[in-house]
Amino acid sequence: MRVTIFGSGYVGLVTGACLADAGNEVLCVDIDAARIARLNAGEVPIHEPGLDELIARNRDKGRLSFTTDGAAGVAHGLFLMIAVGTPPDEDGSADLRHVLAVARTIGEHLGEYRIVMTKSTVPVGTSDRVRETVAAALAGRGVQVEFDVVSNPEFLKEGAAVADFMKPDRVIVGTDNPRTAELLKALYQPFTRSHERMLVMDLRSAELTKYAANAMLATRISFMNELANLAERLGADIEKVRAGIGSDPRIGYAFIYPGIGYGGSCFPKDVKALERSAREAGMEARILGAVEAVNERQKGVLFDKIRRYFGTRLAGRTIALWGLAFKPNTDDMREAPSRVLMEALWQAGASVRAYDPVAMDEARRIYGQRPDLVLCERATAALEGADALAICTEWQEFRSPDFERLRTVLREPVVFDGRNLYEPALLAAQGIRYFAIGRGVLVS
């Protein structure tokens, strides 16, 4: 099948590469000429395990190509997927300018039947606005062309997006046309062969499903972080509590790991957007407001521990920081807890020596050159000259360090662990003071 994807960001590239790998002819369109030039030169502008090889293989086989030509994109594909960004507006609502701009482009060039699909995460009712925008552009040209609008939200986890697309838990399709649903089944058939994973529903239910899924996961995270803070005050160990409640099949273990808050491009934006949608519908979504408030507070927990430990001695100190990305296996630092910690440390007069396996270039792009930030090439190098270690991302290479070296290199043998990577008893035996999240020890 012939597929056009508008937007060559995270969702667009993963979707395009995976569809091409199934034998489809995919054209990715983006208005960013520099990005398209990089992609045509064989560079992949995002870090996602397995994506580089997937794009290279399908480019070489002629199944995946990139362009800035919107008209060519409309002419190419039966399926026109909108996968552009929907950043949060000042009031927390999703900014639909890019989505509707693509819809106008489609209407300006549509010449025969097409299926217009929104893969971007959008508020309920956006498909109606996309349909109206395409129809208005067609009317402006004085032509009538049949088209259908489908909501087909993505459920890709950063760091595991290729696997998520190739073996989806579910494929959500919102449509009011049974014929369109059959065409979508054919498109996704290579990825759902073992058993039927496609759920067909109305447009608005499909749009809400995406927001509901992310809000539910964010709620679990914030709830566990709230419990972790309570456990710390009661002298309980949240990791033992987590094992106790996770063993209940009604709860399970997914997304109940305490830490220093969620980040990235999805959860923060989507919780705020859903809360905004509720207000516009005349409803106060109190749980959503609490989820976001708890998360924002949790991002400051690690700095609070460091500040309580050093007190008036924090200014002039150097903190080693392991992990900059908001989660492992990505270089994404959007809304990352590491940024909250670093900026608070700088405000307090401290310096940072930081290391991340893949997010170093992103950190340079965000912060540039500054005297209170040293980006190190190895985790051990970040420890040199540091007074303490803070951990913000649970990268695999941080899970089993040389504790003896860590103790001797740090000026003070103290670790502030925002991801609960280690056992407190083990570090105590190594002579290292250890402050984690909800492990029953308050910083005094």
Decide if pLDDT at 441 tops 80.
no
User: Which segment of 89-93, 191-195, 290-294, 435-439 scores lowest on mean pLDDT?
Assistant: 89-93
Token pair recorded at residue 169: 């838990």
Q: How far is the C-alpha of 114 from the C-alpha of 106, rounded, in Å?
A: 9
* Helical pair 337-347 and 301-310, crossing angle rounded to 10 deg: 30
Token pair recorded at residue 229: 């803070």
* pLDDT at res. 444: 61
Decide if pLDDT at 174 tops 90.
yes
- Span 307-323, average pLDDT: 96
Decide if pLDDT at 9 tops 80.
yes
pLDDT in tens, 26-55: 999 999 999 999 999 999 999 999 999 999
Collapsing DSSP states into helix, strand and coil, what is residue 70? helix
* pLDDT at res. 59: 96
Whole-number average pLDDT of the chain? 95
Nearest to 329 by CA among 164, 120, 85: 164
Decide if pLDDT at 358 tops 90.
yes
- Span 167-188, average pLDDT: 95
Contacts of 80 (CB under 8 A, 6+ apart): 4, 6, 73, 74, 106, 114, 115, 116, 117
Q: How far is the C-alpha of 130 from the C-alpha of 149, rounded, in Å?
A: 8
The per-residue b/e assignment along 189-213, b for 16 or more CB within 10 angstroms, e otherwise, is: eebeeeeeebebbebbebbbbbbeb
pLDDT in tens, 385-415: 999 999 999 999 999 999 999 999 999 999 9
Percent of the chain surpassing pLDDT 70: 99
- Phi and psi angles of residue 196, each rounded to the nearest 5 degrees, phi first: -65, 120
Phi-psi region of 195 (alpha: psi -120 to 50; beta: other; left: phi over 0): beta
* pLDDT at res. 178: 94
Token pair recorded at residue 444: 């005094």
* pLDDT at res. 33: 96
pLDDT in tens, 103-156: 999 999 999 999 999 999 999 999 999 999 999 999 999 999 999 999 999 999
Decide if pLDDT at 195 tops 80.
no
pTM of the shown model: 0.92
User: Which segment of 40-44, 192-196, 223-227 scores lowest on mean pLDDT?
Assistant: 192-196
Collapsing DSSP states into helix, strand and coil, what is residue 204? helix
Name all contacts of 52-61 with Cβ < 8 Å and 24+ positions apart: 54/17, 54/18, 54/21, 54/162, 55/13, 55/17, 57/21, 58/17, 58/20, 58/21, 58/26
* pLDDT at res. 28: 98
Contacts of 232 (CB under 8 A, 6+ apart): 238, 437, 438, 439, 440, 441, 442
- Span 354-368, average pLDDT: 97
- Span 297-325, average pLDDT: 96
Contacts of 216 (CB under 8 A, 6+ apart): none
What is the dihedral sign for C-alpha 365, 366, 371, 377?
A: negative
* Active-site amino acid positions: 266
Q: Give residue 294's identity as a one-letter amino acid code.
A: V
* pLDDT at res. 443: 67
pLDDT in tens, 53-86: 999 999 999 999 999 999 999 999 999 999 999 8
